[in-house]
Copies of this chain bind each other. A is one copy, B any other.
């Protein structure tokens, strides 16, 4: 990504600058956030989305939320910080990176609880920027690790947007594709449009075209036919939360795609930073699945496409069982044929 998805402008008194992804690809518009409400709204309304980018937004949002807080002592300050993190946590319940980043901010505050409040604020500011820097690093490493799995001249399928727009760097799934492309390994990418919010059509195809890749857009229901008609060498997707078992929650449709890939013997890869693992969650069926507004399904670009009053079921995520995943690609290395033992070894090792 030549244009950063999210960045901090200025010093401690500065602000967050982020791309309003709901307007892509028609319009490239930036939002500037100076308070937690603006960040909450941006996360909730998917102006910023993608697990790692949400983590960055949450960390920066937490700092914005306590920047102007006056507190007499650490306990008061920490209670105020917890109010902020609780508030920001309500924006997207499935995204573990959100909670991971918010907890990280709390831990920093606790670690420096003997320092003056202003000093703690400075540490929190540095930590938020560090979350962004680390994400850029891990994005690069995920790309390097994953590229080796793509055969030379390969055709790759991806789903939703796990690209630069989803992270502070090059993405997760798309970091693999970018790195493989630089090595001459990727000839063609099939991008699934990803209903209901069309992140694949709007964001992934835009981002890949900007980067000069040969991308073909398809509807989500075409994947099985494409696997019969075109040679697909790999499917690479991101993840929003990975259980200790290796089961991975990702954008709704990923589970079905993994079944169809297995049927056609196409290797299915999940690319995600270590922060996506939630070791407190034993298995995929324990991951809470966010249900979103029916309007996302019944309105497209503001126009109603279904009868008034129709019932809608709109889960935002599903769970790819570890057994359908050929490998999980992280910045720390690759977990082939993931299971609880291998996950524990890489994540905690």
Chain B residue with Cβ nearest A200: B306
A315 to B196 alpha-carbon distance, docked (Å)? 20
Given contacts A25-B307, A205-B306, contact A217 B255 (CB under 8 A): no
A66-74, A267-275, A294-302, A325-333 - interface stretch: A294-302
Which residues 203-230 in A have Cβ within 8 Å of B in the complex? 205-206, 209, 214-226, 228-230
Interchain CB contact under 8 A, B306 and A303: no
Which residues 288-341 in A have Cβ within 8 Å of B in the complex? 289, 297-298, 300-315, 318
Interchain CB contact under 8 A, B217 and A298: yes
- In the assembled complex, which residues on chain B have CB atoms less than 8 Å from the CB atom of A238? none
Interchain CB contact under 8 A, A318 and B224: yes
Interchain CB contact under 8 A, B217 and A311: yes
Which residues 159-197 in A have Cβ within 8 Å of B in the complex? 190, 192-196
Interface residues of A, CB < 8 Å — how many?
58
Q: Does A13 contact B (CB under 8 A)?
A: no
Q: Does A198 contact B (CB under 8 A)?
A: yes
Cβ 8 A contact of A256, one of B190, B224, B297, B305: B224
- In the assembled complex, which residues on chain B have CB atoms less than 8 Å from the CB atom of A206? 306-307
Interchain CB contact under 8 A, A255 and B311: no
Interchain CB contact under 8 A, B225 and A312: no
Interchain CB contact under 8 A, B315 and A205: no
A290 to B252 alpha-carbon distance, docked (Å)? 28
Chain B nearest CB from A248 CB (Å) reads 14
Q: Does A263 contact B (CB under 8 A)?
A: yes
Q: Does A1 contact B (CB under 8 A)?
A: no
A101 to B264 alpha-carbon distance, docked (Å)? 37
Chain B residue with Cβ nearest A306: B201
7 A-B pairs within 8 Å (CB atoms) are namely A195-B221, A201-B298, A215-B310, A217-B306, A219-B297, A221-B221, A221-B256
